[in-house]
Amino acid sequence: MISAGDFRNGITIEFEGNVYQIVEFQHVKPGKGAAFVRTKLKNIINGGVVEKTFRPTEKCPQARIDRKDMQYLYSDGDLYNFMDTETYDQIALNGETVGDALKFVKENEMVKICSYNGSVFAIEPPLFVELQITDTEPGFKGDTATGATKPAIVETGAKVMVPLFVENGETIKIDTRTGEYLSRV
């Protein structure tokens, strides 16, 4: 059990029959009346975000989320196949569960599979990936006064905005949380 006074970003709790992750929290001490904790909670199963207020003494059971490293093998239609590298067990997840988490992940790369009570609800790609650019327009000389960018397609098919000096065939580093270009490799 965790009290509302101990809430922190990223903690997962069980509340009203659902499992939520704390996205934001704020301890509020008004001039009159008792203090309270204002939170933004994200339902980890369906992705919905709700706002709730708690008294600092309220307690919620903390949810245990299992994160397991697995290797992304391949996609087969709407199914995405993963393998546990220790036991060699394979699982197939549908496109709805995967979402767009794999848009920067190549085959045979490691990802984290997040599950609650044995049911998988999310996939966490590595924080940074290195991908090769397959298609981008050539940059024009003298067009760099404003730090301009251009669209580029990487080898997984995802679209990334890159600086004008980046060309086809180059390998770049991407932050998978924001989808932003970081540097050339």
Structure tokens given for 161: 């905005």
Least confident of 20-24, 85-89, 92-96: 92-96
**What pLDDT is attached to residue 143?**
57
Q: Give the angle subtended at the CA of 89 by the CAs of 83 and 92, to the nearest 5°.
A: 60
Residue percentage of the chain with pLDDT more than 90: 12
Beta strands in the chain (DSSP E): 2-3, 12-15, 18-28, 36-43, 49-54, 59-60, 66-76, 79-83, 90-94, 110-116, 119-124, 128-136, 149-154, 159-163, 171-175, 180-184
Set out the domains of the chain in order of their start, with CATH numbers. 2-60 (2.30.30.30), 66-124 (2.40.50.140), 128-184 (2.40.50.140)
CA gap 11, 50 in Å, rounded = 15
Q: Where does the pLDDT of residue 144 fall: very low under 50, low under 70, confident under 90, or very high at 90 and above?
A: low
pTM score, two decimals?
0.70
In this predicted model, what pLDDT tens digit does every residue of 55-90 receive, in sequence order?
A: 888 898 988 888 889 999 988 888 889 998 889 888
Q: How far, in Å, CA of 176 to CA of 185, rounded? A: 16
pLDDT for 121 equals: 79
- CA nearest to 121, candidates 21, 51, 53, 17: 21
Quick one: pLDDT band at residue 106, thresholds 50, 70, 90?
A: confident
114 burial via Cβ count (<10 Å: 0-12, 13-18, 19+): middle
Structure token digits, residue 124: 């966490």
The stretch 93-119 carries a mean pLDDT of 84
